[in-house]
Structure formats: structure tokens, C-alpha cells
Structure 1
Amino acid sequence: MKTSYRSTWIFLLLILVGIVVGGILGEVLGQELSFLNKGYQIGLKPPFTLDLNVMQLTFGFLIDVNVASVLGILIAILIFRKM
């Protein structure tokens, strides 16, 4: 059971690394390969602010998904399956 818990964290870490590396490669290679930058944004836009007179809470959430990030996720899943 401990192995399953550990493999879940490794899987999530690989997915996160795949998203970040894919996004960076999409930005860098987006000039030559314009299809890598095609994508959309998901989230709260503009952020939501809750004013409680004593303090203000601002909630925001935005994910920018592009083709390179999706390719990074797929490569991360393939790497995890080979482990």
C-alpha cells in the first residue's frame, strides 16, 4: 500500500514537470512552430474579491493550456508507464 501512495506522488510530479516543460518549449519553439502555442485559458478571470471590512480575500485561478503542454503531459504519462 505504501508503494501505491508513493507512485501517485511520482505520477503527479511527472505530470507537473510535463506541463511546465511543455509550456516552456511551446513558448520557445512557438516562433518556428506556431501550432505549439495554440490553446486556451481556463479559470476565474477577473479574480473574485471578498471584502470583509477587516480583511480582503482575493481568489483567482487561471490555467493556460497549449498544445505543447498537452504533449508534455502525454510524454510524462508514457515515462511513468515505462517506470
Structure 2
Amino acid sequence: MARLAGKNGWTLLIFLLSGVVLGGFLGYLAKDVSWLSWLNFGQEFGLGSPDGTGITSLNLGVIILSFGLRIKITIASILGMIISIVIYRKL
């Protein structure tokens, strides 16, 4: 029980985010390798249009600010999350 005292939710969140980012990056690198291309298979969803213009635009004349959110979940990012949870539990 003493090992659980040092763990907190923020550490788990950092581990999960790093697992998603590293998994997504490895999936992106593996997309051109024929026998690893399945790692990049996934779904993209979010708020805003597919061309990246966002859901809200603010035109200030000189600069246009667009706000939106796009998330792509791939098999590699899911594997990265699972690995990060395993590492977190070993701490």
C-alpha cells in the first residue's frame, strides 16, 4: 500500500498523453512500411471542418484566428496508452 501513496492522477495523465503522442508518432512512421501499416489505421473526429478552418473564426483584418479540435485515434496510439498504463502501474 505504501507504493500507491506516491501516485496521483496527474502522473497518470502525463503518462497517458505521452503514450498517445508517441504511439501516434510511431504509427505515422509505420504507415509506409507494408507489414506495419495497420498501426496507422484509425478514426479522426472533432469540432470544425475537415479543411482545418475551425468552428469559430475571428477576423481582425490583419490576422484571422480559428478555433477547433481534431483528434485521430489509431491502433498505435491505443497500444501506446496501454503500454503507458503498464509502466505507470510498475512505478
TM-score norm. by structure 2 comes to 0.72
Gaps of at least 5 residues in structure 1 are none
Match of 2:24 in 1: 23
Match of 2:76 in 1: 68
Gaps of at least 5 residues in structure 2 are 59-63
More helix by share: 1
Check if 1:82 corresponds to 2:90: yes
In the alignment, residue 72 of structure 1 is paired with which amino acid? Answer: G
Structure 1 stretches of 4+ moved >4 Å: 3-6
RMSD over aligned CA atoms reads 2.5
TM-score norm. by structure 1 comes to 0.78
How many aligned positions are there?
79
State the identity %.
39
